[in-house]
Every structure is written in C-alpha cells, then in structure tokens.
Chains A and B, each alone.
Chain A
Amino acid sequence: MTRPAGTAEQDAAPRFAVGDRLSPRARRVVLSYLILLLIYGGCVAVSREFLSWGTMRLQLVQATFIGLIAIGETFAILIGQIDLSVPWTITLSAILGTNLAALHGQQWIAFAVVIAVGVVVGLLNTFGVFILRVHSLIWTLSVNLMLQGVALIYTNAVAPTTHIPALARFLALGNVGGMPMAFLVWAFFAALAILALGRLAFGRHVYAIGNRQAAALLSGVRLGQVHAVVFILSALGAAFVGLMLSGYSSQAYLGMGNDYLLPPIAAVVIGGTRLSGGDGGYVGSIAGALTVVLLQAMLITLNVSEGARQVIFGAILLALAFLFLKRGR
C-alpha cells in the first residue's frame, strides 16, 4: 500500500520533540487500554453482570478466539498486507479436522488437519500476494471464496460430524486452576507473538518490510520467507481457532467462521497498529480483542436488533479509527 509522501516527516517530528516521554507507539498502546477501560465501564453501567467473574470468564473465552486470529492479522498488517481469508479457513479446518478425526478415531488427526490447512492456505496467500503481487485485500478475499467452495463441496459429500475431539473441547471449555484453558492458550501464544516481534530477528524483518520493502530487500531481508511465515502463521491461527470453536459449540458447521472477518481486524486497529504497515504491535491488539468482545456483549445486553447492532458497531469502530488518526498525524 503506497502512502503519500510527506507523512513520514510529519511522523518523525514529534518523536524528537517528545524526548524521553512516551514514544508515539507506546502512547497508542496506552490509548488502546484506556479505550478498553472506557468500554468496560460502559458495560458495567449497562449491567452489573459484567462485574461477576462468571460473565467475564465467558468474555475472556470469546476474546481468545478473536485474539488468536489477531496474532496473524497483526503480523500481516505490520508487513503492509491483510488476511481476509480467515472466515472460511476457520470453517474448513473445523469441518475437515473433526470429520477426519471422527472417521479414524484419532484425536491427533484433527490437529494435523489444522496444521495442513494452515500451511496450505498460508502458502496459497503467499503465492498470490508475494509471487504474483496481487493486492492482498482482493487475493485473500478470493481465496476465502474458494475455500468456501471447498467446504461446500466437502459437506455435500460428507455430513459434518458432531463427534468433537475431547482435546478440542478441553481447549475451548476446560478450566485449569480457575482460569479458562482457552485464555491460558491465548496468553501463551500472545507472549510468543510479543517476544517474536520485540526480540527476534523475524520481528525486526516484519517491521522493516512494513516500513519500506525495497530498503528491507537491500538490507538482506528475505522478503519471500517473511511473507510466507506471516501468512502461514495467520492461516494457522485461524485454523486452530476453527478447531477450538468446534469444541466450544460441540459442532462444526458451514458458516461458523463468518463472524470472524471484521472483529480481529478491528482488534488490531483499536490496538493502535497502522493499517499502512510497519508501526504497531501485538500488545495493543490484546486490548483491542477484549474491547471488541465487550462491545459486542454490551450491544447484546442492551437487546438492540441485529441491524442496529451492526450500525452501532460500525460507528464506534469508525470513531475509534478516527481517534487514532487524530493523534497519529
């Protein structure tokens, strides 16, 4: 995505002026957590239920699904791309994984399918976006449509099973020491993602590509490798969430991933990562995922109609995007 020249200088200027105070990136992360607090306050104002651990536990599990997808989405957005093939990667991996596992009576097959689907979809996205240089927005949407077709063809031949691997159920519904297992899984992968972005060479390469691809290439960054890793991670995250979702609702069904296209991207944007790439991180995305989930829960509690819910969700998201730009530029 090309940016108008000139914004770079405007971005750089305050960095010197602020001096040893917070960097713009840190300020955006703080802002995203302030937004989370604000939305949580709104939730509590709407219903006392949100003060109870039982309700919040439920929200944490929901946020896990969005947060896990947001890992790959954060990486993809940081290199200046986007992954919109998430919904049907979720559905396909859930249906294929649970069916094959039930057929052979082996749990590990479901996880093998998750990895296979993730790698294949990730490589397919890399092929279109990096090798053929199609805009990731339309390429990954087309891949999404194609995956939808694959899922339809498969379910036409084989009915989805309701026999879900016990391990998938445990990952989504289990409890370890009072904490939901799903949340622990999220915390683990979130720590890995933050570590990878902050401490590993891979993270530096991701930021380098997002800032200026040509400069990254000249500095010896293997563009293809990084693109492939990012898209595979994104697809793997979606495929894994597919399996967890099938454990969560004890079934895999067509369209189960349809609600997961916008929320992870919204989480990344609320978390202060720039859609133009090269600026941001996963710490903010965590707050973003929680914000999105609480916002949805609040609108459901308020008992507004599906249409009105969409209008409010879109408007609030737009307002948040607005807020970040006002500060950023």
Chain B
Amino acid sequence: MKPPEPARRSRRFAFEKHAGPISCALGLIVIIGLYAARQPMILSPFGLASLANASVALALAAVGQTAVLLTAGLDLSIGAEITLINCFAATTMGASGLGIAWVVAASLLLGLAMGFLNGVVVAYGRVEPLIATFCTAFIFSGAALIVLPRPGGSIPDGFAAALTGSWGPLPCSIVLLAGAVILVWAPVFNSRLGRYIVAVGDDAASARLSGLPVRRIELASYMLAGLFAAVAALFLAAETTSGDPGIGNIYTLNSLAASVLGGVALSGGRGTVIGPILGSFVLAIILNALGVFNVSAFWQDFIEGLILMVVLGIGGLRVLRAGSWLALLRQ
C-alpha cells in the first residue's frame, strides 16, 4: 500500500546514480562523431592518442576532486597542487642528479603532503573547505613561483615518451589513467574507507553518531585528491616537457565542472568514478575540437565559459521536475 514500491524506487535510484555517466558517454560519442566528420584522421590510433593526451590530465584532476566531493568537501587548491608538482618535477627531473624514479616518488609524496595539509586544516581545524583550500591554493601557487618563477625547466625525453606515447594501439596516457584508477581508486573505494567516505558525505552528523572517524576519513579524501593531482602534474610535465607556474590554473574549475557533469553531487555522498572521467573527456575534447572547427583563439574563452554554463545548466534542469520550491529546498 505504500506508494513507492521498494523495487521501483531502487531502480529509479540506480538510474539517477548513473544518469551523469550515461549522458556523458552519449555526449562523448556524439562529439567524437562530429569531430571525425570534420577531421577523419582523429579515428586513427595517432588521433585517438592525441585526444587521450589532451584529456587525461583533466580526468586525473577530476577523479581527485571527486574523492573530496564525495565527502561533501571541496578542493579549490587542486590546480595549485598540480602547478607546484609540475614545477618541482620540471626543475629536478632534468637538471639535478636525482633519478627519474626518485623525482616521481618525491612528487607523489609532495601531492600526499599537500593533501595532508588541506585535510588537517579542513578536518581538524574545522575551517570551511572553500576558504581553507582557497588559502592553501595561494600557498601552493606561491611556492610554485618560488621554485620556478618563469616557465622553463626540462623533462627527460625518455620520461615524456613513456607517458605520452603508445603501446601498440593503446595510448600510454589511457594506461596511466586506468592504472591510477585500478591501483588507487578501486582498492580504496572497495574497502571500508570508501564506504565511510560516501557515508560522511551523505550525512556527516549521522556518520559521527555511528562512530565513524569522520576527521580521519575527510583527511584521507584530501590526501587522495593530492595524490591524483600529483599524477596529473607528472603527466602534464611529460606532455609539455617543461614546467609552468601557471599550468594548473584551469584545472580547478574544469575538474569541478567535469565532476558535476559526470553526476557527482556537490552536496556529497553521490557519485561514481567513471562519471568524472567521461565528463573530463567530453569537456577536454570539446575544447580541443574548437581549433578544428576554425574557431578563432579570441573566441575560445567565451565558448569555454558558455559550454560550462550550458553543461551546469543542463545538470540543473532536474529542478523543473520538483513539485514546489519547498520540496526543492529540502533536497
């Protein structure tokens, strides 16, 4: 007699959960189709590898951002984290006597350390994630300017080729992304920690009452974001074979947009890993395609902003289904 039957409710819930990734996948097919109609070369292995290379850094950043968003947090410092690690790698990898492996390990540790700082400030200091990561972003990008005041530095060719080349038909960048997801994301989110992260994001108060170590869980999510930012920064270093103290700026907004596009809720507790990845590919390929469709460079920012607004607006259209303002505000 109860109106929403459990089975129907859960099916609807399952659809809601996957609506973001599904629409992103469809969008991706349409965009690549349009792109290929204009430039058939894009479907060649080389073309696909170039599309992947243009998207993977954003995908890694978005996955890191998602880890934080799932706890109802927010990481505005992810772009600055990418910048600092990129500058660090570019100044140490080529010039100093340190081996590549050591620099990579140090970069990953640096990412974890920056995530740790964010996490301590947010989880233990109880500072709003917005203002906390806004402040740490200043600290990280300032540090990047100290490490490398002007674009420069160098990346060994071997390292660059290893990350941006192809293994047969498979672009290395995709292997890197898949590796990061399989080796880091999957174990974490199949463990108790992953379920705790979602629980904290869903309702921090009840999670605390249920005895979950909310602070440690939030801390872990920021460290996860830092780790993914480090991988993204290393990939960017390989792709551009240099360091740039302004390279990370766009990744803060774009990683948020890609996550939202992929169905991750900013209010926490809802989201998948595949959604943000697909969302990143959609965003990055659209931006990449602007050049192919003879869009002047002066129009790029305008169109990028417009696309973000349309994408975010489409995500907001679910509002029209709400019965009343009150029902909407309760969500």
When the two chains form their complex, are residues B253 and A314 in contact, meaning their CB atoms are under 8 A apart? no
> What residue in chain B is nearest A261 (Cβ atoms)?
B134
Partner of B315, one of A134, A137, A307, A308: A134
Bound together, the chains give a CA A146 to CA B302 distance in angstroms of: 4
Instruction: Say how far A261's CB is from chain B's closest CB, in angstroms.
Output: 9
Q: Which of A4, A82, A147, A214 contacts B130 (CB 8 A)?
A: A82
- Selecting from B4-12, B139-147, B191-199, B235-243, the interface stretch reads B139-147
B-side contacts of A145, CB under 8 Å: 253, 301, 304-305, 308
Q: Which of B304-324 contact A (CB under 8 A)?
A: 304-306, 308-309, 312-313, 315-317, 319
- Asked whether, in the complex, the Cβ of B317 is within 8 Å of the Cβ of A132, the reply is yes
Chain A 131-144 against B: per-residue CB contact (8 Å), 1 yes, 0 no? 11111011101111
Pick the interface stretch among B29-37, B39-47, B121-129, B274-282. Answer: B121-129
* From B135, B137, B146, B306, residue with most partner A Cβ within 10 Å: B135
The answer to whether A310 touches B302, judged by C-beta atoms less than 8 angstroms apart, is: no
CA distance A118 to B200 in the complex (A): 39
CB of A275 within 8 Å of the partner chain:
yes
A146–B145 touching, CB < 8 Å:
no
A174 at the interface (CB under 8 A from B): no
CB closest chain-A residue, reference B319: A133
The answer to whether B257 has its CB under 8 Å from any CB of chain A is yes
B330 proximal to A (CB < 8 A) = yes
- Take A137-B74, A322-B125 as given contacts and tell me if A310 and B309 are in contact as well, using a CB distance cutoff of 8 Å: no
Contact between chains at A321 and B132 (CB < 8 Å): yes
Q: Is A218 an interface residue (CB 8 A)?
A: yes
B213 beta carbon closer than 8 Å to chain A: no
Q: Is the CB of A317 within 8 A of B72?
A: no
Q: Is A265 on the interface with B (CB-CB < 8 A)?
A: yes
CB-CB under 8 A for A128 and B330, given A309-B142, A311-B138: no
| Chain A nearest CB, measured from B132 CB (Å) | 7
* A residues near B147, Cβ cutoff 8 Å: 307
Query: A224: shortest Cβ distance to chain B, in Å?
Result: 9
Which residues of A in the span 1-16 have a Cβ within 8 Å of any Cβ on B? 2, 4-6
Q: Mark A92-112, 1 if CB is under 8 A from B, else 0.
A: 000000000000000000000
Shortest distance between the CB of A188 and any CB in chain B (Å): 29
Complex Cα gap A314–B121 (Å):
13
Instruction: Determine whether the beta carbon of A318 is less than 8 Å from that of B127.
Output: yes
Q: List chain A residues, Cβ under 8 A from B303.
A: 149
Is B299 interfacial (CB 8 A cutoff)?
Answer: yes
- Interface window among A36-44, A150-158, A163-171, A195-203: A150-158
**A262 interface contact, C-beta 8 A:** yes
Of the residues A128, A138, A152, A317, contact of B135 by C-beta under 8 Å: A317
Q: Are A217 and B326 in contact (CB under 8 A)?
A: yes
How long is the Cα–Cα vector from A306 to B121 in the complex, in angstroms? 24
**A interface residue count range (under 10 / 10 to 19 / 20 to 34 / 35 or more):** 35 or more
Q: Which residues of A contact B137 (CB under 8 A)?
A: 314
Contact A134 B316 (CB under 8 A): yes
Q: How far is the CA of A143 from the CA of B302 in the complex (A)?
A: 9
Describe B's contact surface by its main secondary structure.
Answer: helix
A128 touches B306 (CB 8 A): no
Q: Does B175 contact A (CB under 8 A)?
A: no
A-facing mask of B263-279, CB < 8 A → 1, else 0?
Answer: 00011000000000000
A223 part of interface (Cβ distance < 8 Å): yes
Q: Which of A71-96 contact B (CB under 8 A)?
A: 82
Please tell me the number of chain B residues within 8 Å of chain A, measured between CB atoms.
Answer: 55
Q: Which of A2, A142, A148 has the most CB of B within 10 A?
A: A142
Give the nearest-CB partner of B146 in chain A: A307
Q: Would A6 and B205 count as touching, CB distance under 8 A?
A: yes
Cβ of B291 within 8 Å of any chain A Cβ, yes or no, is no
Q: Verify if A315 is at the interface (C-beta below 8 Å from B).
A: yes
**Residues in A neighbouring B204, C-beta threshold 8 A:** 4
B167 within 8 A of A: no
A255 vs B205: C-alpha distance when bound (angstroms): 43
- A153-B298 in contact given A143-B309, A145-B308, A223-B325 (Cβ < 8 Å): yes
Within 8 A of B (CB), among A204-222: 213-214, 217-218
Q: Check if A329 is an interface residue, CB within 8 A of chain B.
A: yes
Distance in angstroms between the alpha carbons of A142 and B328 in the assembled complex: 23
How far is it, in angstroms, between the C-alpha of A142 and the C-alpha of B309 when the chains are bound? Answer: 6
In the bound complex, do residue B139 and residue A153 qualify as a contact, i.e. CB atoms below 8 Å apart? Answer: no
B149 within 8 Å of A by Cβ? yes
> Chain B residues with Cβ under 8 A from A138's Cβ?
253, 256-257, 260, 266, 308, 312
List of B residues within 8 angstroms of A4 by Cβ? 204-205
Cα–Cα, bound, A315→B138 (Å):
8
- Does residue B53 face the partner (Cβ distance < 8 Å to A)? no
Which of chain B's residues has its CB closest to A154's CB?
B298
CB neighbours (8 Å) of A6 from chain B are: 205
A257 and B178 alpha carbons, distance in the complex (Å): 40
Q: Which 7 A-B pairs have the closest CB atoms?
A: A149-B302, A146-B305, A310-B142, A314-B138, A307-B145, A132-B316, A149-B301
23 examples of A-B residue contacts, CB within 8 angstroms:
A2-B267, A132-B317, A138-B256, A139-B312, A141-B253, A142-B312, A145-B301, A146-B304, A150-B302, A152-B301, A152-B302, A153-B299, A307-B142, A307-B145, A307-B149, A309-B142, A311-B142, A311-B143, A314-B135, A315-B135, A315-B139, A317-B138, A321-B128
Binding site for B on A (CB under 8 A): 2, 4-6, 82, 128, 131-135, 137-139, 141-150, 152-153, 156, 213-214, 217-218, 223, 262, 265, 269, 275-276, 305-315, 317-318, 321-322, 325, 329
Question: Which residues of B are in contact with A by a Cβ distance under 8 Å?
Answer: 72, 74, 121, 125-128, 130-132, 134-139, 141-147, 149, 204-205, 253, 256-257, 260, 266-267, 296, 298-306, 308-309, 312-313, 315-317, 319, 325-326, 328-330
Contacts A276-B128, A315-B135 given; 16 further ones with Cβ under 8 A?
A6-B205, A137-B74, A138-B256, A138-B257, A148-B301, A149-B301, A149-B304, A306-B142, A307-B144, A307-B146, A308-B146, A311-B138, A311-B139, A314-B138, A317-B131, A318-B132
